[in-house]
Amino acid sequence: MTSGFESILGQERPIRLLTTLLRNGTIPNALLFIGIEGVGKQTAAMAFAMACNCMAQETEHLFKGTKTQAENGHTTPDQITTTGPCGCCRSCRKIQSGNHPDIILVEPSGPFIRIGQIRDLCHTLAMKPYEARVRVVIISNAQAMNPAASNALLKVLEEPPNRTILILTAMQTSDLLPTIVSRCQHIRFNPISRKNLEALLIEKQGVHPDDAKIITTMANGSFSKALSMINPMNHANWRNQRSWLINEVEFLSSRPIGSLMAFAAKLSKNKEVLADSLEVIKSWLRDLVIYKYHPEKIINKDLSDKIQRSSKKMTVTSLLSKIYDIQSAQKNIQANTNLRLTLEVLIMRLARD
């Protein structure tokens, strides 16, 4: 089973930064992994915890000078020399199976990470690690911390325990307290490029190239989302969702305003797939433009006849304007503007001829 850094696909730069920290022994007390869901942040955090404790690289002087860590905010330079876990030693296997007492995973309880969870963590951190040379705390989806939990964690970051590394994962820094962000070293995980994601689906998962192109567009750089879409349980769902969105957009100009507002309301209620939905609409409009010049380069190849008919009805200027409207709406949504209002404005603009 692949469980080290080699299992994290399309993230060469973050993995290079992590292995450099390990090689140089300059590991900070707190790391913040930033990036969208499904690009390998938590997998990388677990692989890093394994590398920090891999017994294949163990040396006698590891973690004798624990004071240095507390004073300079890093592990001592000669303490960690490994660049990747072996995956086979007792420590690696325990971490891999989720049974290591010193590798602590904190996840949202419902929609939030609550103060009680952070208080329990503080109680654990007041004691020495049971057996690890480096205790690693992974706070997954740290943006889910409520204000009380965030403030409690801030105290831990201000006085970091010895032989302990905290790794926070979040989608963007703006979702966290600035004081927490400033106490962490940031490592950004980018969305996997469409070209790489498409190749992974074809070569590793056996997906048909035409399906891979569509799935890649809808997955928007998330490998886990792409895998979910090729799951037989979900395979029909994403096709149905795509068909519904395209049919809605096609007939917007002929619909009454009440119907347009209802479409915007439906999109705003399903926040989990909103980003994907906007990408689907954008890829459809893009195909209508591309078909006029290079029909062989469209993404939704299985809808080529439909694209041909729709492309003839619309001008390039109108289509490009609609694509720009979607991009503007996506930026506004990321900036936390009023979601319902943003989508209502977008749908009204897409309805224009």
71, pLDDT greater than 60? no
- On whether both 26 and 160 belong to a single domain, the answer is yes
- On whether both 31 and 175 belong to a single domain, the answer is yes
Q: What would the two tokens of residue 33 be?
A: 């992994």
What is the rounded distance in angstroms from the CA atom of residue 94 to the CA atom of residue 101?
A: 9
Q: Across the chain, what does the average pLDDT equal? A: 86
- On whether both 160 and 237 belong to a single domain, the answer is no
CB 10 within 8 A of CB 41: no
Percent pLDDT > 90 in the chain is 52
Strand partners, 168: 32, 139
Last residue of a domain, one of 158, 188, 218: 188
- Which domain does 288 fall in, by range? 231-350
What is the rounded distance in angstroms from the CA atom of residue 206 to the CA atom of residue 184?
A: 39
CB 5 within 8 A of CB 84: yes
pLDDT, tens digit, for every residue of 42-62? 999 999 999 999 888 654 333
pLDDT for position 235: 55
- On whether both 155 and 274 belong to a single domain, the answer is no
The CATH number for 314's domain is 1.20.272
Q: What would the two tokens of residue 84 be?
A: 């990747």
Percent pLDDT > 70 in the chain is 90
pLDDT, tens digit, for every residue of 225-271? 888 888 765 555 778 888 999 999 999 999 999 999 999 999 998 87
pLDDT, tens digit, for every residue of 176-187? 999 999 999 999
What is the rounded distance in angstroms from the CA atom of residue 213 to the CA atom of residue 224?
A: 16
pLDDT, tens digit, for every residue of 84-133? 788 888 999 999 998 999 999 999 988 899 999 999 999 999 999 999 88
Question: What DSSP assignment string belongs to 59-126?
Answer: -TTTTS-HHHHHHHSB--TTS---SS--S-SHHHHHHHHT--TTEEEE--BTTBB-HHHHHHHHHHHT
Domain count, the chain: 2
pTM: 0.72
